[in-house]
């Protein structure tokens, strides 16, 4: 069961994928001119963006199911104890489904509120904060400038 952590390492890639895809998906809707066409319908703009969120949430749900199937199959094949199954489910929900939903909301909001350069800068900052290399920054700041930002990180 030691190799199940390999599946969890994909979570950062899924977060980045969902963040970028949701931003580009909503930005393309805004720039293609379809907003003007759907404003003629009752609650058309709200339905357009609501359906686009539903499409992105379905993608996140499919990713969650796929990321859940592999560890569950390994647990069944290796005859793991029954107490491991809720743990696998909760870890997969916390590492795959919730970050997927969060990245879709961040991408959607940044596409609606920000220009392209600011949104890409926000995405790059969020990706950097999630990388293990960002753990070195508080130590460098504390050693060089005596600024303790470990509680923030």
pLDDT at 74: 86
Report pLDDT for 103: 93
Judge contact between 52 and 101, C-beta under 8 A: no
Per DSSP, the residues of 109-139 read HHHHHS-HHHHHHHHHHHHHHHSGGGGHHHH
Specify the pLDDT at position 75.
86
Cβ neighbours around 38 below 10 Å, total: 15
User: What's residue 3's pLDDT?
Assistant: 58
Nearest to 20 by CA among 93, 124, 112: 124
**DSSP H or E stretch at residue 41:** none
Kindly report whether the global pTM for this prediction surpasses the value 0.85.
no
Mean pLDDT by 10 residues, the chain (153 residues): 66 89 92 82 87 94 91 87 88 90 94 92 86 65 58 56
């Amino acid at each position: 069961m030691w190799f199940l952590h390999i599946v969890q390492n994909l979570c950062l890639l899924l977060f980045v994928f969902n963040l970028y895809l949701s931003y580009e998906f909503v930005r393309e809707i805004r720039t293609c001119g379809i907003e003007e066409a759907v404003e003629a319908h009752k609650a058309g703009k709200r339905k357009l963006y609501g359906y686009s969120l539903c499409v992105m949430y379905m993608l996140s749900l499919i990713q969650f199911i796929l990321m859940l199937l592999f560890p569950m199959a390994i647990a069944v094949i290796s005859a793991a104890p029954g107490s491991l199954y809720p743990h696998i489910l909760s870890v997969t929900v916390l590492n795959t489904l919730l970050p997927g939903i969060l990245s879709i909301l961040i991408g959607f909001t940044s596409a609606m509120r920000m220009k392209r350069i600011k949104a890409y800068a926000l995405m790059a900052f969020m990706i950097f904060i999630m990388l293990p290399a960002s753990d070195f920054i508080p130590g460098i700041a504390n050693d060089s400038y005596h600024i303790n930002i470990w509680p923030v990180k």
